């Protein structure tokens, strides 16, 4: 090949196919193969035929603000007026109307605390005291009866607060029990091990609904005559028992991931069992299992909705109660979308946090 064979004309060669810019992006991500092109067209067609209708229903033709049920009947779209009318019932249940700032304040304290606990910066012993103080404050706010706050019995509590109470206390109390169960399961004392395994497998093998039934009909039978635990507490016990079994397996996973050398090193130092666990093994095991623990909290939050079945007035049942009002009966979709949105905000935040945490904690592992 000599230089002459390259004619000057090649300068008018077509420009290379674009590799940047929107057209290239569309070509690369939507039409890169014939079947992808087909899929893209099919999805686009489906979206074009469904999305406008959905948007019209949810926004354009919807009834916003305050409106009578008749106005909703006349409109074609969603009836958000129903939510406007009932949001207090859905969020606060039958808590006295005048006092609803109290559950609202408690919810805000809860959310702030949980959010703050997520930051590495705040992970210290102080956090435990802050939690203790805050829970005391929440109890004070919710029950009242002192400082001029009227007393509100738990049977009047309801809505989002119940959901949060059940899940936060459920996980909080279940966690130490879970750690003990996990240690028991890994113990080489046969009786302790057998007890832990039986508990974990029995609870994990049955649905939460069964435990809730058990809590609602059997706990009264178990207790001595005259002693009556209220319904909310019984449901809480069932949720704690359930969450503990699942968390125990998460913690066990963490324990199994600790290399044998760590145990041997602790033994070599002459540490006793509890010292070894508290100072060497558990801190590492719990750190490894934090992301799965957070996921476990997420499922507990969702599972609290099952207390509907035994008639506890949580967010879910409050939503159903709002639908019992005859003129609004038909707006079930709006009610469920609203409740779903509330659950989604919490759960999505938790799941994103768990993913972030996994990356954050994994940083040290991938130097």
Is residue 260 close enough to count as binding another protein by CB under 8 A? Answer: yes
Identify whether the C-beta of residue 117 lies closer than 8 Å to the C-beta of residue 127: yes
Quick one: 44 or 108, whose CB is closer to another protein? Answer: 44
Q: Counting contacts by CB under 8 A, is residue 71 touching another protein? A: no
Residue 154 to residue 204: CA distance in whole angstroms: 29
CA angle 191, 192, 194 (to 5 degrees): 65
The DSSP line for 121-150 is: GG-SHHHHHHHHHHHHHHHHHHH--STTPP
Rank residues 155 and 329 by Cβ distance to another protein and give the closer one.
Answer: 329
Q: What is the nearest approach in angstroms of another protein to the Cβ of residue 26?
A: 9
Q: Answer positive or negative: Cα dihedral of 339, 342, 343, 344.
A: positive
**Applying CB under 8 A, which of residues 344, 355, 360, 362 lies at the interface with another protein?**
344
Burial bucket for residue 339 (CB in 10 Å: 0-12, 13-18, 19+): buried
- Considering only residues 148-167, where is the footprint of another protein by CB under 8 A? none
Q: Classify each residue of 136-160 as buried b or exposed e, where b means 16 or more C-beta atoms within 10 Å of its C-beta.
A: eebeebbebeeeeeeebebeebbbb
Indicate the residue among 88 and 320 with the shorter CB distance to another protein.
320
Count other C-beta atoms under 10 Å from residue 117's C-beta.
12
Closer residue to another protein, CB minimum distance, 128 or 227: 227
Q: Please state, in angstroms and rounded to a whole number, the distance separating the CA atoms of residues 218 and 15.
A: 79
| Closest listed residue to residue 308, CA positions, set 321, 326, 325, 324 | 321
In the complex with another protein, which residue's Cβ is closer, 8 or 225? 225
Identify which range of 10-18, 97-105, 137-145, 270-278 contacts another protein by CB under 8 A. Answer: 270-278
Tell me, residue by residue from 284 to 303, as one string, x for binding to another protein by CB under 8 A and - for no binding: --------------x---xx
Nearest distance from residue 133's CB to another protein, in Å? 31
Closer to another protein at the Cβ: 139 or 333?
A: 333
Task: Spell out the residues 6+ positions from residue 21 whose beta carbon is closer than 8 angstroms to its own.
Answer: none
Site for another protein in 195-214 (CB under 8 A): 195, 202, 204-210, 213-214
The total number of residues written for the chain in this structure: 367
E strands of 108-147, at which residues? none
Q: Which residues contact 313 (CB under 8 A, 6 or more apart)?
A: 93, 94, 157, 158, 159, 162, 321
Candidate residues 23, 68, 115, 223; the one interacting with another protein per rule CB under 8 A = 223
Residue 192 interacts with another protein (CB under 8 A)? yes
Instruction: For the CB of residue 169, give the shortest distance to another protein in the complex, in Å.
Output: 18
Count of CB atoms within 10 A of residue 305's CB? Answer: 19
Binder among 94, 154, 284, 330 for another protein (CB under 8 A): 330
| In the complex, least distance from residue 175 CB atom to another protein, rounded to whole angstroms | 20
Residue 305 found at the interface with another protein (CB under 8 A): yes
**Residue 138 or 354 with smaller CB distance to another protein:** 354
Give Cβ neighbours of residue 138 (< 8 Å, ≥ 6 apart). Answer: 106, 109, 110
- The region of 61-69, 130-138, 286-294, 345-353 touching another protein under the rule CB under 8 A is 345-353
Residue 143 binds another protein, judged by CB under 8 A? no
Q: Which two tokens stand for residue 167?
A: 């899940």
Binding mask 20-59 for another protein (x = CB under 8 A): ---------xx-xx--x--xx--xx---------------
Q: Hey, CA dihedral for 292, 294, 299, 300, is it positive or negative?
A: positive
Which positions touch another protein (CB under 8 A)?
29-30, 32-33, 36, 39-40, 43-44, 186-192, 195, 202, 204-210, 213-214, 217-218, 220-225, 256, 260, 263-264, 267-268, 270, 272-273, 276, 298, 302-303, 305-306, 308-309, 316, 320, 330, 332-333, 336, 339-340, 343-344, 347-348, 351
């Amino acid at each position: 090949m000599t230089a002459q064979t390259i004619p000057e004309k090649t300068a008018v060669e077509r420009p290379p196919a674009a590799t940047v810019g929107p057209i290239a992006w569309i070509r690369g991500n939507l039409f890169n193969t014939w079947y992808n092109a087909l899929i893209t067209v099919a999805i686009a067609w489906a979206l074009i035929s469904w999305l406008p209708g959905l948007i019209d229903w949810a926004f354009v033709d919807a009834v916003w603000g305050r409106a009578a049920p008749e106005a909703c009947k006349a409109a074609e779209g969603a009836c958000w007026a129903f939510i406007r009318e009932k949001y207090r019932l859905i969020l606060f249940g039958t808590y006295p109307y005048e006092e609803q700032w109290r559950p609202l304040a408690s919810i805000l304290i809860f959310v702030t605390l949980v959010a703050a606990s997520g930051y590495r910066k705040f992970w210290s012993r102080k956090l435990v005291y802050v939690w203790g103080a805050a829970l005391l404050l929440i109890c004070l706010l919710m029950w009242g009866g002192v400082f001029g706050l009227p007393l509100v019995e738990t049977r009047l509590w309801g809505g989002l607060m119940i959901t949060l109470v059940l899940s936060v206390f459920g996980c909080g109390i279940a966690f130490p029990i879970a750690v003990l169960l996990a240690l028991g399961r890994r113990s080489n004392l046969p009786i302790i091990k057998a007890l832990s395994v039986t508990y974990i497998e029995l609870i994990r093998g049955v649905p939460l609904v069964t435990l809730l039934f058990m809590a609602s009909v059997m706990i009264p039978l178990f207790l001595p005559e005259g002693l009556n635990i209220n319904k909310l507490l019984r449901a809480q016990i069932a949720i704690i028992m359930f969450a503990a079994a699942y968390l125990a397996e998460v913690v066990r996973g963490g324990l199994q991931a600790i290399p044998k050398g760590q145990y041997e090193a602790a033994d070599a130092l002459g540490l006793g069992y509890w010292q070894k666990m508290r100072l060497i093994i558990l801190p590492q095991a719990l750190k490894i299992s934090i992301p799965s623990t957070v996921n476990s909290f997420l499922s507990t939050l969702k599972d609290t909705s099952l207390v509907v079945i035994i008639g506890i007035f949580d967010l879910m049942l409050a939503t159903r109660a709002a639908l019992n009002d005859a003129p609004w009966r038909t707006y079930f979709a709006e009610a469920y979308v609203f409740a779903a949105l509330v659950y989604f905000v919490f759960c999505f935040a938790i799941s994103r946090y768990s993913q972030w945490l996994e990356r954050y904690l994994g940083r040290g592992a991938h130097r």
